[in-house]
Amino acid sequence: MIVLGSTSEVAQAFVEKALQEGEKFERIYLFTSNRETTERFARHIDVKFLQQSEIIELDLTKTINYSEFDQINSSVLFCATGYLGEGTEEGLYDNKNTERIIDINYSKLVPVMNYFAQKFESRRSGTIIGLSSVAGDRGRQSNFIYGSAKAAFTAYLSGLRNYLFEKKVHVMTVKPGFMATKMTEGLPLNPKLTVTPKKAAECIYKAFKKQKNIVYVLPIWGVIMLIIRNIPEFIFKKLKL
């Protein structure tokens, strides 16, 4: 398995869930910009599941040397890379913040995804799982830079799914909704709309086995976003969402 964003709690929970369910991986490639935290996880899965893994440093804000990824091959790719950045009030006109959000969530991420997508295409098998966000379903004033990058990522995954369908590669888009993770710690999330990374991973694993296309981790988010998408623009622009 290839994991992009290995310090993500959902990614780690997904790896654990898959191993618990008896999935076999010769090696797990843990891509990360934070070696220390990822090393702890690598040791953890080695102790718990006797699972071999390899840590590969990947910083999406820097130039990427693709030749280092030559030997890497797998039938599952799990992409949990993401960066929330500062919301509108604090960070809207801070270009550094804006660039970073777009780089990590979309512009620098997509070439990396494409690099591996090509490998999947030539194998003619496998599953690519991308974590996008409900924030990408419609731009809202509270976090639309992040939302726009995620919207682009959602569109990318949708197109990729379409393109790779004939090539026997499955692409799954996951929209987790609120998750209690590092990214959202301390934010006032409605507990009824929030899942733990562990619960989210269980749901994603189930969807992975069923080869779903688009997954809202909590079904209620599908309903909420359906409503939000369908509010007429002349009303929507006045709302404080």
Partner 1 sequence: MKPNFTQKVTNWGNFPIVEKEMRSEDSFKKIKEFVLNHNEVIARGNGRCYGDASLGENIFSTKKLNKFISFDRLNGIIECESGVLLSEVLEISVPQGYFLYVTPGTKFISIGGAIASDVHGKNHHAEGCFSEYVTEFKLMTENGDIIICSREENSDKFWATIGGMGLTGIILSAKFKLKNIETAYIRQESIKAENLDEIFRLFEESESWTYTVAWIDCLQKGKNIGRSILMRGEHAFRHELTGNDAKNPLVLKKKFSPTVPFYFPNFVLNALTVKIFNFLYYKKQSKKEVKNFTDYETFFYPLDAVTDWNKIYGKSGFIQYQMVIPKETGKEGMKKILETIANSGNGSFLAVLKLFGENNPEAYNSFPTEGYTLALDFKVNSKLKKLVDQLDQIVQEFGGRIYLTKDSMSRSSLTAYLKNVNSSKFVSLQHKRILNNK
Among residues 43 and 168, whose Cβ is nearest to partner 1? 43
Contact 26, 52 (CB under 8 A): yes
Which of 33, 37, 97, 141 is in the footprint of partner 1 by CB under 8 A? 37
Between 43 and 62, how does the x/- string for binding to partner 1 read (CB under 8 A)? xx--xx--------------
- Spatial distance between the Cα atoms of 140 and 133, rounded to a whole number of angstroms: 13
Query: Does 22 engage in binding with partner 1 (CB under 8 A)?
Result: no
Please provide the DSSP assignment of 14-60 as one string: HHHHHHHTT---S-EEEEES-HHHHHHHHHHHHHHH---EEEEE--T
Query: Does 191 engage in binding with partner 1 (CB under 8 A)?
Result: no
Query: Does 156 engage in binding with partner 1 (CB under 8 A)?
Result: no
Q: How far is the CB of 169 from partner 1 (least distance, A)?
A: 32
- Each residue of 27-53: b (16+ CB within 10 Å) or e? ebbbbbbeeeebeebbeebeeebebeb
Among residues 15 and 117, whose Cβ is nearest to partner 1? 15
Which of 163, 165, 187, 241 is in the footprint of partner 1 by CB under 8 A? 187
- Spatial distance between the Cα atoms of 39 and 52, rounded to a whole number of angstroms: 12
- Spatial distance between the Cα atoms of 66 and 85, rounded to a whole number of angstroms: 26
Site for partner 1 in 76-105 (CB under 8 A): 87, 90
Residue pointed to by tokens 């590969």:
56
Q: How far is the CB of 186 from partner 1 (least distance, A)?
A: 3
Handedness of CA 82, 88, 89, 92 (dihedral sign): positive
In whole angstroms, how large is the CA radius of gyration of the chain? 18
Residue 95, exposed/middle/buried by CB under 10 A (0-12, 13-18, 19+)? exposed
Among residues 49 and 69, whose Cβ is nearest to partner 1? 49
Among residues 52 and 122, whose Cβ is nearest to partner 1? 52
Between 98 and 137, how does the x/- string for binding to partner 1 read (CB under 8 A)? ----------------------------------------
Specify the stretch interacting with partner 1 by CB under 8 A; choose among 41-49, 100-108, 150-158, 171-179.
Answer: 41-49
Query: Does 70 engage in binding with partner 1 (CB under 8 A)?
Result: no
- Spatial distance between the Cα atoms of 204 and 171, rounded to a whole number of angstroms: 13
- Residue ranges that bind partner 1, judged by CB under 8 A: 36-37, 40-41, 43-44, 47-48, 87, 90, 142, 182, 185-188
